[in-house]
Amino acid sequence: MDAYHFVLASQSPRRRQLLRLLGYPFEVYAADVDEDVHLSAGPADYVRLTAAQKAEAAAHALAAGRRDRPTLLIAADTTVALDGTILAKPADAADARRMLTALRGRTHDVHTGLCVVDLADGREVRAVHTTTVTMRAYTAAEIDAYVATGDPLDKAGAYAIQHPLFNPVAALDGCYLTVVGLSLCGLIAALAAFGVPCRATRESLLAAHDGYPCPLLEQVWEQCQ
């Protein structure tokens, strides 16, 4: 039996899918926070602070409920930064088109902040994972077709790296899952600080990275043994 109960403080279906790969039963509690509060911070600080904000809001709400065993709360936030400027979720289709046009054929950074909190004592681990992404030179017609699907509207930078038809990324340097929205390798390392053993298989972690090499994977996997 796991020593901890797990709560994912996110409404993202992508993060739910990724967390399932680690093999821990968990529940979802999506905290309602204003994600624009920290926009004046730099991109890396923005995701670090916003992830902590989500964790704090969820922890406050859950503290009122009765827990029959220790609980770890996991929160994350992702943003895209082009030339140091944050590209958050687009306001509408026109904004998505603007972002995708600006990113086309260029290199940018994707930052994902992570915050894991022990609800019993408030102990927490924070981290920021950054991946450098180069977009392919997709056409204006491809942008229009992708925006018409509605997929960009709930995503930072207006794109999903894993979208099978748009397939916007030409190359990346860093963890693929950071771009998707949650670095599993980073999360495994964070959970280890609370004494949580790794339950994922190497095969499942490799498959989750969709063929992209991860600079953290082998190091983290060695710690899982």
Question: Angle CA(78)–CA(82)–CA(88) in degrees, nearest 5?
Answer: 40
In DSSP notation, 164-207 reads TTT--EEEEES-HHHHHT--HHHHHHHHHTTTPPP---HHHHHH
Coil, strand or helix: which one is 66? coil
Q: What is the DSSP letter of 92?
A: S
Catalytically active residues, by annotation: 77
> What CA–CA distance (Å, rounded) separates 30 from 97?
28
